[in-house]
């Protein structure tokens, strides 16, 4: 049994849901109400002392950090290695884009939108510039490319798809970046679990309406 502690609006959680769908793993979803502090209960802290979501528990093995979970699911349950190939160079490119997502792209989303959404802070123009810079980089990476790392769908596409779909519901204009937009339209069609990802996005959208 694979227990999955999550919130549907969270893009890191949504990336795990999509990869689990792609490798055929059924998740026993356990909704955590962060606003109510359910991540701080003694029971959850015993599982994850960092008290973050997503958190996966696979027959007693606990793991958090979404991008680590994505790789674990493919390595343990993938019928092929296509989502995270064993070739060191292919894997290095995927890792590079996963780190770009967590450190630059998703980070720019969190730094700009979360203070507004969760703390009623005013918009920070400097933080918005970091979003634009991240999208410019991604647009450059995708020049002449259908996928973000290599020539087929990988966990890097799925992680970044979860992030980009959050930007869409936050009303960021993705169309200004033609390579990103083209990649996004294709990724939505070819990624297993997209429908559930979008349902989670629509729950998150209420913060921006």
HSE, CB side, 13 Å, CA atoms: give it for residue 118.
Answer: 9
Q: Using alpha carbons, select from 177, 101, 182 the residue that is nearest to residue 139.
A: 177
Q: Using alpha carbons, select from 35, 27, 34, 36 the residue that is nearest to residue 3.
A: 27
What span, in angstroms and rounded, lies between the C-alpha atoms of 131 and 23?
31
Beta strands in the chain (DSSP E): 2-6, 27-31, 55-58, 61-64
Both tokens of 16, joined, read 């795990």
Residue with tokens 């993705």: 174
Catalytic position from the list 10, 66, 108, 165: 10
* 82 noted as active-site residue: no
CA torsion through residues 133, 166, 9, 191, sign = negative
* DSSP-based three-state secondary structure for 160: helix
User: Which amino acids are annotated catalytic?
Assistant: 10
């Amino acid at each position: 049994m694979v227990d999955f502690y999550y919130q549907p609006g969270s893009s890191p959680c949504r990336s795990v849901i999509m990869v689990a769908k792609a490798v055929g793993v059924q998740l026993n979803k356990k909704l955590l109400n962060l606003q109510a502090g359910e991540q701080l209960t003694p029971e959850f802290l015993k599982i994850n002392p960092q008290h973050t979501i997503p958190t996966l528990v696979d027959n007693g093995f606990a793991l958090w950090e979404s991008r680590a979970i994505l790789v674990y699911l493919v390595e343990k349950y993938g019928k092929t290695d296509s989502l995270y190939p064993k070739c060191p160079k292919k894997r290095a490119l995927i890792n590079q884009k996963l780190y770009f997502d967590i450190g630059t792209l998703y980070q720019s989303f969190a730094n700009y939108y979360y203070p507004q959404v969760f703390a009623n802070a005013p918009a920070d123009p400097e933080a918005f510039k970091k979003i634009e810079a991240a999208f410019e980089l991604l647009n450059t990476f995708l020049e002449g490319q259908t996928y973000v790392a290599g020539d087929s769908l990988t966990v890097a596409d799925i992680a970044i798809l979860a992030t980009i779909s959050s930007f869409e519901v936050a009303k960021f204009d993705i169309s200004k970046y033609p390579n990103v937009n083209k990649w996004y339209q294709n990724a939505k069609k070819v990624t297993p679990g997209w429908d559930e990802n979008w349902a989670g996005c629509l729950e998150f959208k209420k913060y921006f309406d």
